[in-house]
Chains A and B, each alone.
Chain A
Amino acid sequence: MQRRLVFLSAMTFLLPVVAGVHLFLGFRSTDLPQLLFAFAGSDAQSFEEAVLLYQRVPRTLIALYVGGVTAVCGFVLQSLVRNPLASPTTLGVNAGAALFLVAGVLLFNLDTKLQGAAALVGALSGFLASLAVAKAAGRRNDPRGLSLILSGALVTMFFTGLTNALLLSDPARRSDLLSWIVGTINHAYADRLALFWWVGVIAILMLLVLARPLTLILFGAEKAASTGVNVPIVSGLAILAAVLGAGSAVAICGPIGFVGLVVPHIVRPLVGNNLRISLPAAFLTGAMVCIMADLIGREALYPFSLSTGLVTDLVGGVVFILIIKRFYLSSGAQQGVA
């Protein structure tokens, strides 16, 4: 219990620090005192202030939202699917959202608002497609849920193929979508954040309210029901919230991979499986990971910048292998969710 509170408070303290570094790194130190006042004014008084207010602040907020929401949704999906490899990336959620958004832009010329709606519908479709494939493949005989992960990979490949075909068919407009499709935290997407932030907020509030019954579902459907949990309704609502939350993140800045997969594995050993504590911890950690990934992408190869999605894909891919090794290939591999 002690360690959990220490971790939570450490993250609560560290997140503003990392966000501060993300905001102010690169400015001349002599400018910093004056820049702090930029938040008080209504408009930018200098070039530096403009950079801070119109580039850095939106970027930090987007990273905070996307990282936090994706990590919480990943945690919930891993709990409900009972598989350590579950996440928005591996269950077809991200690929579905990306396909529907790209199709919406290229085929139907949707405006930004409707693009978001398309991404949410796409996120749900991707997840349902993975479920359907897994069902056809006989998921009932697979208690560890691996078939669902493989189906998710299949759906992701199929949807990504379609997305690429759409992009290739429209050379004139594809450059607009190219950096979005690899997952980029960019100040240009600030208007998308302004449009869709409430989706993630509602999703997270819903998941926090459902945290205790969701934790009980970890004990198995029958044990949960015997303690008074309405399992079909709770898990249905939670999956809906998690998928839509993750979809809203994709709608803002494209699929940022692996945050939803990796962060739960960082959080769980430190704060445990009680979702009342682990969901807030996942939010803080996810936000921090995403801000740091964006910082690395921005500063590592300066003056060139890497897409945040590329950074998380590179790091996440390695961690993905470690998770497979730990849960599936090691002797005495652990059962279900760690």
Chain B
Amino acid sequence: MLEVQHVTAGYGKLEVLSDLSIQFRPGRFTAIAGPNGCGKSSLLKAIMRFLPLSKGEIMLDGKPLEKIGRKKLARRIAYLPQECFCPDYMTLGELIELAGHSRYELVGGPSERDRELFSQVLKTVGLSDRAGFPVNKLSGGQRQRAWIAMVLAQDTEIILMDEPVNNLDITYQFAVLELVRDLVENHGKTVISVLHDLNLTAAFADDVALMRGGQCLISGTVEDAVTPENIESVFGLKAQVFEKEGRLVCFPERSETTVFC
């Protein structure tokens, strides 16, 4: 169980998380949503310890995260940044082999078990025939699945994703999120993902955390949290929420005058 307790953090004087508390339930897909600049990515960075905390603590199974070494942490939590950069000529096979770094000896390499995991991972993301292919020559949707493969090859129970479906067309958005859904349901992973789109959140996530101004205003299951009142208080936007085929759909209303605040 990953728990964020009264965390305040920022870049220099700029405070991006202020007294934020949230619990992420294991074996669930939690989406983090909220307006731009509300601290969604910073929350993930704080969990990964890229952002030093000035107050509060983040606990993993009751143990403060900062007491866990980098290598040990890499065996528990994997992280998919918002923008990934792959060096040229790197093949997909090399990419996922590198991901297991925390399990290898310094001069050693992957074990037999690791190799089995890698071929399983490639099958899961549907890229079994692309192992020898340079990552930078894959199509946009395939590349995003390659990054997810790298995260899966790290073989952790918790996976953090920062907008994994950004810049993908709607087909790939669904394909990637179906894959994430499958990881949670059939592979026992805990996924915590920043997602911009409330409709995608409602369609795929179990839980949702709505953030604003560096705080988590509302958290709970999708059914409880995605309501017109909550959307208005977090996004400042009037919206209808209705159910269609067992799924919630948000329908923002157009206003006569656009207000930027």
- Tell me, yes or no, whether B260 is within 8 Å of chain A by CB: no
A219-B86 Cα distance, complex, nearest whole Å: 6
Comparing B26-34, B89-97, B237-245, the segment that makes contact with chain A is: B89-97
Question: B104 and A227: CB pair below 8 A?
Answer: no
The distance from the CB of A275 to the nearest CB of chain B, in whole angstroms, is 10
Indicate which residue in A209, A226, A269, A337 contacts B87 across the interface (CB closer than 8 Å). Answer: A337
> A219 vs B135: C-alpha distance in the bound complex, in angstroms?
12
Q: Give the residue of A226, A274, A334 whose beta carbon is less than 8 angstroms from that of B79.
A: A226
- Is A230 within 8 A of B70, CB to CB? yes
0 or 1 for each of B90-134: is its CB under 8 Å from A? (1 = yes): 110110001101101011000000000000000000000000100
Q: Mark A1-12, 1 if CB is under 8 A from B, else 0.
A: 100000000000
Q: What are the interface flags for A256-275 relative to B under an 8 Å C-beta threshold, 1 for contact and 0 otherwise? A: 00000000000011001110
By the criterion CB–CB under 8 Å, are B88 and A222 in contact? no
Q: How far is the CA of A323 from the CA of B222 in the complex (A)?
A: 53
Q: Give the size of the chain A interface in residues (CB under 8 angstroms).
A: 27
Residues of A49-105 at the interface with B, using a CB-CB cut-off of 8 Å, are none
Interface status of A281 (Cβ within 8 A of chain B): no
Does A303 reach chain B (CB closer than 8 Å)?
A: no
Contact B132 A227, beta carbon cutoff 8 Å: no
A212 touches B91 (CB 8 A): no
Q: Is the CB of A274 within 8 A of B90?
A: yes
Residue contact B101 to A212, C-beta cutoff 8 Å: yes
CB–CB A219/B88 < 8 A: no
Total A-B residue contacts, Cβ distance less than 8 Å? 82
Given contacts A222-B48, A226-B74, contact A216 B101 (CB under 8 A): yes
* 30 A-B residue pairs with CB within 8 Å: A1-B91, A1-B93, A216-B98, A216-B101, A219-B84, A219-B85, A219-B86, A220-B85, A222-B50, A223-B85, A225-B49, A225-B50, A225-B70, A226-B48, A226-B77, A226-B78, A226-B79, A227-B99, A228-B71, A228-B75, A228-B102, A230-B71, A272-B91, A272-B94, A273-B87, A274-B94, A274-B98, A334-B88, A335-B85, A337-B87
Contact A273 B88 (CB under 8 A): yes
Given A1-B93, A226-B79, A337-B88, 12 more A-B residue pairs with CB atoms under 8 Å apart are A213-B101, A218-B87, A220-B84, A223-B79, A223-B81, A227-B78, A228-B70, A228-B75, A228-B102, A229-B101, A272-B89, A338-B89
Categorize the interface residue count of chain B: 20 to 34
Nearest chain A CB to B161 CB, angstrom units: 12
Q: Is A336 an interface residue when CB atoms closer than 8 A count as contact?
A: yes
A338 touches B88 (CB 8 A): yes
Q: Indicate if the CB atoms of A212 and B104 lie closer than 8 Å.
A: yes
- Chain B residue at smallest Cβ distance from A231: B70
Verify A225–B88 contact, CB threshold 8 A.
no
With an 8 A cutoff between CB atoms, is B53 at the interface? no
- Which residue of B is nearest A334, CB measured? B88
Q: Does B154 lie at the interface of the complex (its beta carbon under 8 Å from any beta carbon of A)?
A: yes
Interface hits, B32-81 → A, CB 8 Å: 45, 48-50, 70-71, 73-75, 77-79, 81
Q: Tell whether, in the assembled complex, residue A269 and residue B50 are in contact, meaning their CB atoms are under 8 Å apart.
A: no
- Closest Cβ–Cβ distance, residue B139 to chain A (whole Å): 18
Tell me the smallest distance from the CB of B12 to a CB of chain A, in Å: 13
- Tell me, rounded to whole Å, the shortest Cβ–Cβ distance linking A170 to chain B: 47
Complex CA gap A269/B134 in Å reads 11
In the bound complex, what is the Cα–Cα distance between A334 and B48 (angstroms)? 30
Q: Which of A201-239 contact B (CB under 8 A)?
A: 209, 212-213, 215-216, 218-220, 222-223, 225-230
Docked Cα-Cα span, A1 to B132, in Å, equals 7
A contact set with B: CB distance below 8 Å: 1, 209, 212-213, 215-216, 218-220, 222-223, 225-230, 268-269, 272-274, 334-338
Name B154's closest neighbour in chain A (CB-CB): A227
Q: In the complex where A227-B98, A229-B101 touch, is A268 in contact with B88 (Cβ < 8 A)? A: yes
Assuming the contacts A219-B84, A268-B88, A336-B85, asked whether A229 and B70 have C-beta atoms less than 8 A apart, the reply is: yes
In the complex, what distance in Å separates the CA atom of A164 from the CA atom of B83? 47
Shortest A141–chain B CB gap in Å is 15
Min distance, Cβ B190 to any Cβ of chain A, angstroms: 16
Which residues of chain A are within 8 angstroms of B45 by Cβ–Cβ distance? 222
Say whether B70 contacts A215, CB under 8 Å. Answer: no
Tell me, in angstroms, the Cα distance from A222 to B84 when the chains sit together: 10
A169 to B142, CA, bound (A): 64
B50 to chain A: which residues have CB within 8 Å? 222, 225
Q: Which residues of A contact B74 (CB under 8 A)?
A: 226-228
For A230, give the chain B residue with the smallest CB separation. B70
Residues of A within 8 A of B154 (CB): 227
Q: How far is the CA of A215 from the CA of B49 in the complex (A)?
A: 21
Q: Are the CB atoms of B87 and A222 closer together than 8 Å? A: no
A171 to B176, CA, bound (A): 72
With contact pairs A222-B50, A274-B94 given, residues A227 and B102 touching in the complex (Cβ less than 8 Å): yes
In the bound complex, residues from chain B placing their C-beta under 8 Å from that of A338 are 88-89
Contacts of A216 in B (CB 8 A): 98, 101
A229 to chain B, nearest CB (A): 7
Instruction: Pick the 7 closest A-B CB pairs, nearest first.
Output: A228-B74, A228-B102, A226-B79, A272-B89, A273-B87, A228-B71, A218-B87
Q: Are A222 and B94 in contact (CB under 8 A)?
A: no
With A272-B91, A274-B94 as known contacts, state yes or no: A222 contacts B101, CB within 8 Å. no
